[in-house]
Amino acid sequence: MKNIKEVASIPENRKEKVLQFGEGNFIRAFVDWMIDAANKQGIYDGSVVVCQPIPQGLADVINEQNGAYTVVIRDMEEGRMKEEVIVNTCISRCINPYTDYDKLLEVAVSPDLEVIISNTTEKGIEYRSEDRLEDKPQVSFPGKLTALLYRRFMAGRKGLLIVPLELINDNGSLLKTIILKYAEQWELGEGFIEWFVRENHIVSTLVDRIVTGYPKDEAEEFEKRLNYQDKLIDTCEKYNLLAIEGRKELAEILPIHKTGANVIWADDITGYRERKLYILNGAHNAIGLAGFYSGHKYVIDLMRDDAFRAFTEKVVFEEIVSNFKDRQQAEGFAKDVLSRFSNPFIKHNLMQIAIHGCSKFMLRCLPSIRLFYERTGRIPTLLSFSFAAFILFYKGEFADGIYWGTKEDGSRYEIKDSDEVIRFFARVWENNDISEAVHKVLANTEFWNGKDLTEMDGMEELVVKNVQSIMEIGTANTMKRLME
């Protein structure tokens, strides 16, 4: 069977106008899908150079396929499956800066470069004091970006449009702040700082599309049907939203808004961000860890489970949507979200939701807990259960250097988070004392934006009670009891 590069119509001599940090499933089925559409529709004429952001990644596979890969969009329309298969050819190559840093520097000073895009997970936009200008490369994404921008400044090149796609509030503002902090730490000079502020445009964004990535269980079937091999098949839903907070004239630099993709430029994207983060992502984390712990694998499995579906509907409408000032708009979005969760072709892995679950819970669920508490004076019953399931998910022990958790059925799973988070949970659970573990987690201000959650009246007691209940009667029975 042929490789996709042998059947794809890969354009030659297209200028490399975009440098992209991140090569994961989401960004390839999201903004790369938009850029590919713009190229094919004659709206744009540029290719994407991808930078692998960490030492382990997909650079070799991407280059083996000459950047080509398949995007499969599947949805239900009027009770029938609708599938669209696209061969994406917007990526020219992928650079591994840990083995070939000089190639990354060449891209940084290229006169063709106009845009930098990133999707390096919610932990990606962080300041790391150990990073140095002379590192090849720096560990953090903002460190890498600062070094590249400095080289570009020294080469006398024009500034860039910088579009971070990480799911963080005001991601553009945060990235700009960290770059300026590195500029000061590394003593890059006032000239660089003035050039950076004046000529570079960093926007804040909100992204929304459920991307389920490589269809491992269906890969062989896909390859037979497509008649070529592709190690990078990327599956996703039809729905998409890219909301960008910035000057609308900047849109012409990367005119993906003209393709039919749902790209919105606005002066303020707060409403889009809060609806997506608290309702869609919040619902994922409110049910995901509990669902995985109880033995389910995908979000669609939870929607087919009567107890989990009822719980999801109740927590979304009564404890999340109820906090929004514009209830009607939030309810409409929530109904669409539940419909998207029920798409039978979107196998969104619960373990994927659980990775780096600590920072995700803080960003996605904690705001709804606090808003509900401030509005009603009560701890939200169902979200406190989600908090308990989150804490119990992180109950584990080390074996062969891996931190293992144990599901209700006794099977083990690897808990994936930062070393700091994993070491913390290993310590708080070492005595198997539920009350002690819950207290230490709630009181860890480093997790919760400087807040001690034990100060919320009734929070600690309710979470302890829910952890005990899950361990004694199981996840499903605990949910049913809470909804009675």
In 234-356, alpha helices (H): 270-274, 282-293, 299-303, 306-314, 327-341, 350-354
- Per-block mean pLDDT, blocks of 10 residues, the chain (484 long): 91 94 97 98 97 95 97 87 94 97 98 97 87 97 98 98 93 97 98 98 96 90 94 96 96 97 96 93 96 96 96 97 94 94 89 92 96 97 98 96 95 94 96 97 96 97 98 95 91
Q: Which amino acid is at 474?
A: G
Buried b (16+ CB within 10 A) or exposed e, 184-198: eebebeeebeebbee
pTM of the model: 0.82
Dist. CA 7–CA 122, nearest whole Å? 36
In 53-170, alpha helices (H): 59-64, 101-108, 141-154
The DSSP H or E segment spanning 87 is strand 80-88
What pLDDT was estimated at residue 27? 98
Sequence-ordered strand ranges (E) for 346-436: 396-399, 402-406, 412-414
Identical fold at 4-266 and 270-483?
no
Dist. CA 420–CA 237, nearest whole Å? 34
Domain ranges (residues) in the chain: 4-266, 270-483
* Residue 422 neighbours by CB distance under 10 Å: 18
Side-by-side strand order, sheet with 402-406: 396-399, 402-406, 412-414
The CATH architecture one would assign to domain 4-266 is 3-Layer(aba) Sandwich (3.40)
CATH of domain 270-483: 1.10.1040.10
Angle formed by the axes of helices 459-473 and 434-442, to 10°?
140
The DSSP H or E segment spanning 471 is helix 459-473
Quick one: tokens of 70?
């398949």
What pLDDT was estimated at residue 430? 95
Quick one: tokens of 168?
């963080």
Sequence-ordered strand ranges (E) for 340-483: 396-399, 402-406, 412-414
Quick one: tokens of 455?
């100060």
Residue 253 phi, psi (nearest 5): -70, -40
Give 101-145 pLDDT, tens digit per residue. Answer: 999 999 999 999 999 999 997 678 999 999 999 999 999 999 999
What pLDDT was estimated at residue 122? 67
Q: Which whole-number Å values give the CA distances from 281 to 46, 310, 428, in the listed order?
A: 32, 18, 27
